[in-house]
């Protein structure tokens, strides 16, 4: 910590947080934060400790709400003895680490669930989505947020009685949700959440057919548009743009090849582990896929070379077994799907391509397979679709076979 803050350190050492300072510092060191960042986080913790003492707040009451109170109410009007640390971004990060530490040592409780009837209902619904329907965590989180809005608006802290919800209530709720959507098609997500919840209630014996009946999806002609893909020229430009010098150049190249050559989703790339690659057999195993299956796929030479170059020449020294790991603190952690998508967006930009969606590379693989003579069944196998109906959208890209079955234009010469 710099000298300007030395005399305020006594606030921390005389506070309720004093017994946890060493563990806090060790946690930051283990995450391999820079010394300047650690000093800033310690200064932020000192300011927070002083505020706790001034307000006579017990350490057991620390939670996300209290931290927001500190950041939103105290920080803008702070009149603490100077100097104190005021950087909101670093304060928020430091106190986030404090929550992790205190919960790991059972000093404070995990975020409560089940305290109200609505919370308990959401917990049971989440268990159903997880263990019965096998939905991904991100999907479940989104559905829970939607259903929480519905149930809290209907019942507040009272018991949940599904028979008390009327069709008009659902119509009004959908209308309110629709008003928040930037495009009309976005209302499909809340409607999916509602229908999923009502189907769950139906499995419990509730009469919810009238509620399901008013949750109709807006018109969406799925076969009206051609799937967007990269042209051969654009693919060449993208691959050429991967050859550059940068701190994450080889990681970006490996990520793009995984998406373009194997059609992997962002989450599947992020979940790849070192033990999932069989270099001798030239195969790669996919875990935690959208369908919650394990799939083994052949590893193309270009993809394998890109991954190998990253592992040998760029991947940080780490004990983590993930293929792609963070280059910045907190280190020794795998990257997430957001970083995968960001890397692909940056590759587009470097190639001068006006695209942003990482899923575009998956569509491009399907188009290239069809152009090479693969059947729709083979495309479905590569993309790991549960149903061939999902793959039918690519039939419109099969120009070679479509030409063979096309009828002459009316009135034209045969």
Q: What is the mean pLDDT of residues 148-158?
A: 91
- Catalytic residue ranges: 265, 290, 359, 362, 385, 394
Domain coordinates of the chain in residue numbers?
A: 3-104, 120-213, 232-400
Q: What is the mean pLDDT of residues 79-94?
A: 88
Using DSSP's 3-state secondary structure scheme, residue 408 falls into coil
Bridge partners for 278 per DSSP: 283
Domain 232-400 in the same topology as domain 120-213: no
| Cβ–Cβ < 8 Å for 60, 18 | no
Q: How many CB atoms lie within 10 A of CB 365?
A: 20
Taking only the tens place, the pLDDT of each residue in 288-318 is 666 667 889 999 999 999 999 999 999 998 8
**395-413 in b/e burial notation, b at 16+ Cβ within 10 A?**
eebbeeeeeeeeeeeeeee
Tell me the fold of 232-400: hpI Integrase; Chain A (1.10.443)
Tell me the fold of 120-213: DNA polymerase; domain 1 (1.10.150)
The top-scoring range by mean pLDDT among 14-18, 40-44, 211-215, 302-306 is 302-306
Taking only the tens place, the pLDDT of each residue in 59-70 is 998 988 899 999
Distance CA 92, CA 96 (A): 6
DSSP string of 215-238, one letter each residue: -PPPP--TTSSPPP---HHHHHHH
- The sign of the torsion formed by the CA atoms of 248, 249, 250, 256 equals positive
Q: How far is CA 47 from CA 7, 9, 92, 288, 334, in A?
A: 12, 9, 12, 42, 32
Using DSSP's 3-state secondary structure scheme, residue 278 falls into strand
113 or 22, higher pLDDT: 22
pLDDT for res 291: 62
- pLDDT band, residue 109 (cuts 50/70/90): confident
Above 50 in pLDDT, residue 369?
yes
| Cβ–Cβ < 8 Å for 269, 324 | yes
pLDDT for res 258: 96
Report residue 254 CA to chain centroid gap: 20
pTM exceeds 0.75 for this model: no
Above 50 in pLDDT, residue 22?
yes
Least confident segment among 17-31, 121-135, 371-385: 371-385
pLDDT for res 380: 79
């Amino acid at each position: 910590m710099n000298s300007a803050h030395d005399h305020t350190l006594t606030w921390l050492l005389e506070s309720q947080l004093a017994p946890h300072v060493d563990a806090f510092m060790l946690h930051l060191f283990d995450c391999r934060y820079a010394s300047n960042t650690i000093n800033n986080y310690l200064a932020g913790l000192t300011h927070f400790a002083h505020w706790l003492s001034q307000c006579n707040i017990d350490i057991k009451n620390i939670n996300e709400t209290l931290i927001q109170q500190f950041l939103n109410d105290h920080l803008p009007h702070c009149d603490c003895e100077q100097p104190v640390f005021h950087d909101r971004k670093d304060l928020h990060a430091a106190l986030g680490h404090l929550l992790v530490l205190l919960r790991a040592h059972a000093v404070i409780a995990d975020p409560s669930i089940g305290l109200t009837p609505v919370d308990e209902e959401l917990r049971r619904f989440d268990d159903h989505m997880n263990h019965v329907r096998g939905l991904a965590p991100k999907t479940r989180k989104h559905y829970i947020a939607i259903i929480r809005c519905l149930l809290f608006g209907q019942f507040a802290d009272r018991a949940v009685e599904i028979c008390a919800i009327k069709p008009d209530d659902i119509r009004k709720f959908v209308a309110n949700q629709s008003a928040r959507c930037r495009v009309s098609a976005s209302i499909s997500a809340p409607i999916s959440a509602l229908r999923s919840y009502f189907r769950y209630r139906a499995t419990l014996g509730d009469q919810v057919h009238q509620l399901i009946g008013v949750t109709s999806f807006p018109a969406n002609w799925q076969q009206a548009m051609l799937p967007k893909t990269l042209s051969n020229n654009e693919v060449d430009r993208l691959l050429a743009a991967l050859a550059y010098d940068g701190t994450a150049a080889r990681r970006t190249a490996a990520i793009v090849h995984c998406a373009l050559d194997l059609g992997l989703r962002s989450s599947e790339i992020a979940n790849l582990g070192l033990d999932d690659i069989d270099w001798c057999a030239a195969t790669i195993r996919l875990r935690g896929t959208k369908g919650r299956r394990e799939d083994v796929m052949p590893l193309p030479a270009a993809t394998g070379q890109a991954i190998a170059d990253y592992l040998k020449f760029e991947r940080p020294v780490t004990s983590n077994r993930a293929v792609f790991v963070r280059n910045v603190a907190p280190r020794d952690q795998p990257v997430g799907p957001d970083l995968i998508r960001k890397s692909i967006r940056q590759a587009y930009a470097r190639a001068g391509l006006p695209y942003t969606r990482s899923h575009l590379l998956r569509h491009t693989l399907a188009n290239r397979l069809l152009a090479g003579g693969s059947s729709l069944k083979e495309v479905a196998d590569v993309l790991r679709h549960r149903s061939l109906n999902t793959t039918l959208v690519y039939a419109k890209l099969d120009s070679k076979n479509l030409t063979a079955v096309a009828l002459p234009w009316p009135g034209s010469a045969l």
